[in-house]
Chain A
């Protein structure tokens, strides 16, 4: 077998242009290949497996919509039959009235703003997104629709996978410990509802901690300790 050298340790920080490895590794993301040489293309954390290389980006405050993504969007404009939605992408998305109501809307009889008006927030799914046309959304179905109550925070869209965790482990941990309802949009907006403001704030701080420390090992353990400790503090105050 040929030697396939890797020039970085697992979980090292790499920057664009770093020669990370040589050989027939499969590139999962964050790298490009020139012949046998594999270079990083982002500032990120490198994960090396036996046959594959992945560089998880640490930077990037942009969101490029993909079909099937769940996003949180804000209505910014409307016309008689559809809404324009800000989903933090470089393009505004379109939501047809029928894709929110589940039935056709007759603009002559009904005013579209009765259902959603400018400033309203929605959970939606990306129905189409390609290079040629503007993205479209669907907001009808389970867990989709208008958002009422709770709190929304924004993180870098690149960090969403870390907040969700492998097999949703991180988000489940957060929900179990705080009993809060948390819904993470792939565009980096996160909706939180907890039993009171203090708990909500703990969730917010925990998510910000995940965002900041995502490149440091043993993240889950630290988050568990952090939440447990903070919850104890507010219990103490209540007594």
Chain B
């Protein structure tokens, strides 16, 4: 009997390891403009996963001949803090981090009007402060918020979530345990405004009928997360407005 068979990911009455139902998201928390020096920034929490994102630019970059003459380049650096996982992560960028930087960049690029800033660079840094599954999706959510916060024109925000499978059950927003011991993990990023899917990866296996179900579930979850992103972006301004007009602010945030 392998370790995998010993981990109970979902109980008979449909509770997952952290008490959620199959279609329940982890608690979300999002805030923009958390860093003063960055042009745009955001902090995103999806349950135990916490990601900080910072955006700089459009700005000049050297050597200049590496910049395309007709558009901006988007540079994404995804990193995990040494303290973000149980066993200290070596600070040197790993193969995995470099690859995730690339897929996150490719998930964000279709949403941006890069051709408006020729010969410039837009830098996106995402740092995982605490990892509990779904760090790439949380990074995409944070990065797209930070880009909007930096005033970069976009077709729409990019929103991401992971779906997965435990046996015959499709589940949403996997945590670390489900990611490691589940039967499938499929991160998806979308531009909800246009319906475009900008990232779709999968670990494990998924029968075709469950794949369809998983995609539908992800779309539903993305709408919820997208709504939270919109709230986070607007909140700053609504607070200032309320303060100026002498209206009580919502103390929750």
Contacts and interface: CB of A to CB of B under 8 A. Distances in A.
B244 A222 contact: yes
Contact of B59 (A17, A57, A59, A62): A62
Please indicate which of the listed interface residues A13, A17, A215 has the most CB atoms of chain B within 10 Å of its own CB: A17
A220 interface: no
Interface in B40-80: 40, 57-60, 69-70
B156 A16 contact: yes
B10 interface: no
Interface range for B: 35 or more
Given A34-B194, A62-B57, A213-B244, A17 B156 contact: yes
Contact of A131 (B69, B241, B245): B69
A39 B69 contact: no
A59 B238 contact: no
Interface in B225-244: 229-230, 233-234, 237-238, 240-241, 244
Contact of B193 (A19, A58, A61): A19
B43 to A, nearest CB: 17
Contact of B240 (A43, A64, A212): A212
B151 A57 contact: yes
A91 B60 contact: yes
A121 B79 CA distance: 40
Given A15-B234, A41-B113, A59 B244 contact: no
Contacts, number: 100
The list of the 6 closest CB pairs from A to B, nearest first, reads: A17-B156, A60-B151, A17-B193, A59-B151, A16-B154, A90-B120
A64 B241 contact: no
Given A59-B151, A62-B117, A216-B240, 19 more contacts: A13-B234, A15-B229, A16-B156, A16-B157, A17-B191, A17-B194, A18-B193, A32-B155, A41-B153, A42-B151, A61-B39, A62-B59, A64-B117, A90-B59, A90-B120, A91-B60, A131-B118, A216-B244, A216-B245
Interface in B102-134: 111, 113, 116-120
Contact of A90 (B119, B155, B237, B245): B119
A216 B191 CA distance: 29
B148 interface: yes
Interface of B: 39-40, 57-60, 69-70, 111, 113, 116-120, 148-157, 191-194, 229-230, 233-234, 237-238, 240-241, 244-245
Nearest to A134: B119
A80 B163 CA distance: 63
A50 B234 CA distance: 25
A41 B154 contact: yes
A9 to B, nearest CB: 13
Interface in A77-112: 90-92
B207 to A, nearest CB: 33
A18 B151 contact: no
Please indicate which of the listed interface residues A34, A43, A90 has the most CB atoms of chain B within 10 Å of its own CB: A43
Contacts of A39: 155-156, 193
A15 B153 CA distance: 10
Contacts of A158: 151
B170 to A, nearest CB: 27
B249 to A, nearest CB: 14
Nearest to A31: B153
7 contacts: A13-B234, A19-B193, A43-B234, A62-B117, A90-B119, A132-B69, A213-B241
A131 B117 CA distance: 8
Contacts of A41: 113, 153-155
B113 to A, nearest CB: 7
B66 to A, nearest CB: 14
Interface string A183-218: 000000000000000000000000000001101100
A61 B157 contact: no
Please indicate which of the listed interface residues B154, B191, B230, B237 has the most CB atoms of chain A within 10 Å of its own CB: B237
Interface in A50-67: 57-62, 64
Contacts of B241: 213, 215-216
